[in-house]
Structure 1
Amino acid sequence: MRIAVTGGSGKLGRTVVAYLREHGHEVFNLDVTGPREPGTIRVDFTNYGETVDALMGVNDRYDGLDALVHLAAIPAPGILSDVATFDNNMVSTFHVLQAARRAGITNIVVASSETVLGLPFDTPPPYIPVDEQYPARPESVYSLTKHLEEQLAIELTRWDEELKIISLRFSNVMYEEDYAEFPSFDADARARKWNLWGYIDSRDGAQAVLRALEWPGAGYERFIIAAADTVMSRSNAELVAEVFPDTPVRGDLGEHTTLLSITKARTVLGYDPQHSWRDTQRGD
């Protein structure tokens, strides 16, 4: 496929661009920043003219696209003011999705966020492990934009039965070098309770993107994307008993199994995370 990745210069974006290219796809990084090289085009997604022009084609680089991966965003709360975060993320996502429709691109993957599940869980989740079944609970303006982006995708796919938009609710993205810090988390169970001790290796995040692009369905779907395990050496039973003692538990928690359920992504997309911080501790 010929694929545009918005935000391909970001932490997850760099891995996604490289992963898709390794799997034989022609990939263009569309970002407001990035190196001056043939595969990167600088685009300000708050400008609709720039956005639609880039998705229609760029000089001799390409004259059309088969698929779109939208990762560009202010990536977390607290980086900019609430208003700046809302303005950037909502306007950019609408511009990108609207421009994609105008360009005839019907295969779209959008980065959502684990934050829509209720992070930082100052109000405990309705049950553990969490999944995609309960309504979104945004607790920050950043999370609110991700929830509204999901709602936007629902309506756009309702309007167009040929359109496929998949929202991937990514957990906290990590590189292999980030894992050196993980053993220190055991000292305080509450230090990482804000996302139920979850994470996602960027390489597995990229795998999820490709699985979503290759999924043959249409319409709208959302999936939690996390590693298969938690960031903790302490057992799930111990963590939940200490931090969320009154929260209902659904099923077997497992020893260190992720509490951000990836069952739906495994079942529907065939997502199969291959990387764990524990491998680095064993020297694998």
Structure 2
Amino acid sequence: MTHVVVTGGSGKLGAAVVTELLEHGYEVTVLDRVRPAALDPRAQFVQLDLTDYGQVLEALTAVDDRYDHVDAVAHLAAVPAPGLLTNSATFANNVPSTYNVFAAAQAAGILNVVWASSETVLGLPFGSSPPPSFPVDESYAVRPQSTYSLGKAVEEEMARHFTRWNPDLKLIGLRFSNVMVESDYAAFPAFEDDPESRSWNAWGYIDARDGAQAVRLALESTLTGFEAFIIAAADTVLSTGSSELAARYFPDVPFTREVVPAETLLSIEKARRMLWYRPEHSWRDHV
């Protein structure tokens, strides 16, 4: 059985990833500052501070009677959005934690690391920095607009060099859209009253269960080196057509291809092609 440690398993996405991995036969250990409120009894928990390299290195090698090896890492722990802490506190938590995971994994001989990057590196909020085209994809250089996003951009740059130093290493950054769980969907109909309120990320979102699927598929991928993938739902948060929304709120942004009425404007084609990612969940099934 493959042993995967999941940092941030107490979070919205992390909890879904733990469930996804357990249901697919993985041994799972959650590494976090706080114990998950409802930890699956099949999973283990080890408390640690990811900003402390020594603790991370120990956790990726062995922990007394808990485990004696780690095969792969899903690194999801972070301050999850801009503005939750001061800018310097956000950067000082997120970037060193990710460096410690990358460096400790390499020191421990772990070659399979998937981590949570962010849609924000695409230039969010789009209201102040429209994308070059729709659907937005991974083809253009990152352009962070916040300290949180700057940290994610730094993490992706670190990944490029860690994999340059070690060509056998796999570091996959998943640029998750706004993560939602089923209970969040009750609020979606109200977005229809103010479509502009969700234009900041081109009306994107990701169901946590589909985000977890993407993590598992990335861990199972035979890719090596650094790759980044946009991970979003197949649709938008609104019933209004995607092309109509773009024409209304981003009239100067061209389309590179036609999109179907409710199709996401955050392209998941690369993830579909290279990871076999197939989102299965939509808010429309719950409202």
Q: Which residue of structure 2 lines up, in the alignment, with residue 73 of structure 1?
A: 78
Residues 4 and 27 of structure 1 are in contact (CA less than 8 Å); yes or no, is this contact kept in structure 2? yes
Aligned equivalent of 1:53, options 55, 58, 63: 58
- The answer on 1:221 being equivalent to 2:227 is yes
- Contact 1:52–1:100 (Cα < 8 Å) also in 2: yes
Separation (CA, whole Å) in 2 of partners of 1:118 and 1:75 = 17
User: What one-letter code is carried by the residue in structure 2 that aligns with 1:189?
Assistant: P
What SS is found at the alignment partner of 2:277? Answer: coil
Measured in 1, the distance between the counterparts of 2:84 and 2:194 equals 25
Gaps of 5+ in 1: none
The runs of at least 4 consecutive aligned structure 1 residues that moved more than 4 Å come to 35-38
TM-score (norm. length: structure 2): 0.96
Contact 1:69 1:110 in 2 (8 A): yes
Q: Which of 74, 84, 93 in structure 2 is aligned with 1:88? A: 93
SS in 2 for 1:177: helix
Report the AA paired with residue 199 of structure 1: Y
2:48 to 25, 43, 56: 43
CA distance in 2, matches of 1:232, 1:225: 18
Please name the residue that 1:101 is paired with: 106
**Pairwise CA distance, 1:71:** 0.4
- Alpha-carbon distance between aligned partners in 1 of 2:255 and 2:168, rounded to the nearest angstrom: 39
Number of equivalences: 281
Residue equivalent to 2:177: 171
For 1:136-195, what per-residue CA distance to the aligned partner results, in whole angstroms no more than 9, with x for missing partners?
Answer: 010000000001100000100000011001000000000011111111111112100000
Structure 2 match to 1:159: 165
Letter in 2 for 1:228: A
TM-superposed deviation, 1:216:
0.7
Alpha-carbon separation, structure 1, partners of 2:264 and 2:11? 25
Q: Distance in 1 between matches of 2:246 and 2:165?
A: 42
Percent identity of the aligned residues? Answer: 57
Distance (whole Å) between structure 2 residues aligned to residue 3 and residue 193 of structure 1: 36
Q: Matched residues in 2 for 1:19 and 1:152: separation? A: 28
Matched with 1:6 is 7
Answer yes or no: is the 8 Å Cα contact 1:189–1:243 preserved in 2: no
What is the root-mean-square deviation of aligned Cα atoms in Å? 1.1
Deviations along 1:50-96, one digit per CA (max 9) or x if unpaired, are 11111111111111111000001111000000000011111111111
Give the deviation of 1:237 after TM superposition: 2.0
Q: Secondary structure at the match of 1:53?
A: helix
Partner of 1:138: 144
Q: Distance in 2 between matches of 1:223 and 1:207?
A: 13
Equivalent residue runs for 1:170-249 within 5 Å: 170-249=176-255
SS of structure 1 residue aligned to 2:196: coil
Cα distance in 1, alignment partners of residues 131 and 259 from structure 2: 15
Offset at residue 238 of structure 1 (A): 1.6
Deviates more, 1:161-170 or 1:180-189: 180-189
How far apart are the structure 2 equivalents of 1:222 and 1:49?
28
Instruction: Find out whether 1:25 has 2:20 as its counterpart.
Output: no
The alpha carbon displacement at 1:241 in A equals: 1.3
Gapped regions of structure 2 (runs ≥ 5) = none
Worse-matched range after superposition: 27-36 or 219-228: 27-36
CA displacement, residues 1-39 of structure 1 (integer Å, 9 cap, x when unaligned): 100001111110011011100110000000011158761
**Who is 1:123 aligned against?**
129
What letter corresponds to residue 71 of structure 1 in structure 2?
A: L
Q: Which amino acid aligns with 2:271?
A: A
Distance 1:123 1:97 in 2: 31
Moved more, 66-75 or 28-37: 28-37
CA distance in 1, matches of 2:223, 2:101: 21
**Does residue 260 of structure 1 match 2:266?**
yes
**2:34 counterpart letter in structure 1:** T
| 1:169 counterpart letter in structure 2 | R
